[in-house]
Amino acid sequence: MKEPSGTVRPPFDQIDFVLLDLDGTLLDKYFDDYFWEHLVPEKYAEAHNITFGQAKEELLERYRLHEATLNWTDLDFWSAELGLDIPALKEQIKHMVEVHPHVREFLALMRGKGKKVCLLTNAHYKAIEIKFSQTRIRGYFDHVVTSYEIGHPKEDIRFWEKTGPLIGFDKSRDRTLFIDDTEAILKTASQYGIRYLLLKEKPASRQLAGRAKKNTGLFPAVSDFRELLE
């Protein structure tokens, strides 16, 4: 496992592949937190004639049952599960999708240095389409790989075993950087053999109650992509 902690700027002259998570890492996760913990419970409460508090308590428990599985971010699954048109609800608030500060500058810098820039995400393809249409960042990536394409979430080592050959990076050469806002996913990437790992702190610009993530110090961390710019 990698040594902890603090902000450590990776040696970019020794890196060929830059792998990046989407929600919470490149994009402000407040959009998703608000959607799943406010808007969906609100609509669910209206549909079932219960209070918002009752709806939120029930939904949070149902969410937890599917955490770290392909269902976790599957919009079609949740539409069927909850009896709501989840993609349509996301469209209603798509104006809230925002890129974290200095992300575009970082992506442009990596492209300018000739790095292979790849997006690795558990997000559902319908959510990705909405977010790309709002942010216009699709053009920065050489590859976009989703857990649905691979058949396993990023928390599963099988995701990495299939993704490495698909993208073409060679873990034995130790020339790959991966940035994610979830420690469990970074642990799996480390287990697979990726050398340079960074935790994106402050995945959401505004925290809903109980949403703050604790940084255990297991991985070097970056709170703003400005820290990675020359």
The pLDDT of residue 53 is above 60: yes
Percent of the chain past pLDDT 90, that is, above it, reads: 86
- C-alpha 67/C-alpha 77 separation (Å) is 13
The answer to whether the CB of 9 falls within 8 A of the CB of 227 is yes
pLDDT of amino acid 2 = 42
Half-sphere CA count of 163, side-chain side, radius 13 A: 34
Confidence of residue 208 (pLDDT cuts 50, 70, 90): low
Considering only residues 94 and 213, tell me which one the structure prediction assigns the higher pLDDT.
Answer: 94
- C-alpha 138/C-alpha 191 separation (Å) is 29
- C-alpha 23/C-alpha 214 separation (Å) is 17
The token duo for 2 is: 């990698």
Q: Give the model confidence (pLDDT) of 83-119 as tens digits.
A: 999 999 999 999 999 999 999 999 999 999 999 999 9
pLDDT of amino acid 171 = 78
pLDDT of amino acid 207 = 78
Per domain, the residue ranges of the chain are 12-28+98-228, 31-95
Nearest Cα residue to 12 out of 109, 156, 139: 109
The token duo for 61 is: 């428990």
pLDDT of amino acid 65 = 95
pLDDT of amino acid 4 = 44
Does residue 52 come out as left (phi exceeding 0), alpha (psi in the -120 to 50 range) or beta?
A: alpha
- C-alpha 151/C-alpha 176 separation (Å) is 22
pLDDT of amino acid 51 = 98
Q: What is the mean pLDDT of residues 177-202?
A: 96
* Contacts of residue 219, Cβ cutoff 8 Å, sequence gap at least 6: 2, 4, 5, 183, 186, 197, 198, 199
Confidence of residue 173 (pLDDT cuts 50, 70, 90): confident
Where is mean pLDDT largest: 19-28, 62-71, 163-172?
Answer: 19-28
The token duo for 70 is: 């392909």
Nearest Cα residue to 203 out of 192, 195, 211: 211
Decide: helix, strand or coil at residue 53: helix
The pLDDT of residue 136 is above 90: yes
Nearest Cα residue to 163 out of 207, 128, 119, 203: 119
Decide: helix, strand or coil at residue 183: helix
For residues 42-67, b (16+ Cβ closer than 10 Å) or e, as one string? ebbbeeeeeeeeebbebbeeeeeeee
Label the pairing between strands 143-146 and 196-200: unpaired
- C-alpha 224/C-alpha 138 separation (Å) is 20
Return the bridge partners of 179, or none.
Answer: 20, 198
For the chain, the residue count is 230
Mean pLDDT of the residues in the chain: 92
Confidence of residue 170 (pLDDT cuts 50, 70, 90): confident
CATH topology for 12-28+98-228 is Rossmann fold (3.40.50)
Q: Please tell me the pTM assigned to this model.
A: 0.92
The residue behind tokens 């300018």 is: 112
pLDDT of amino acid 210 = 53
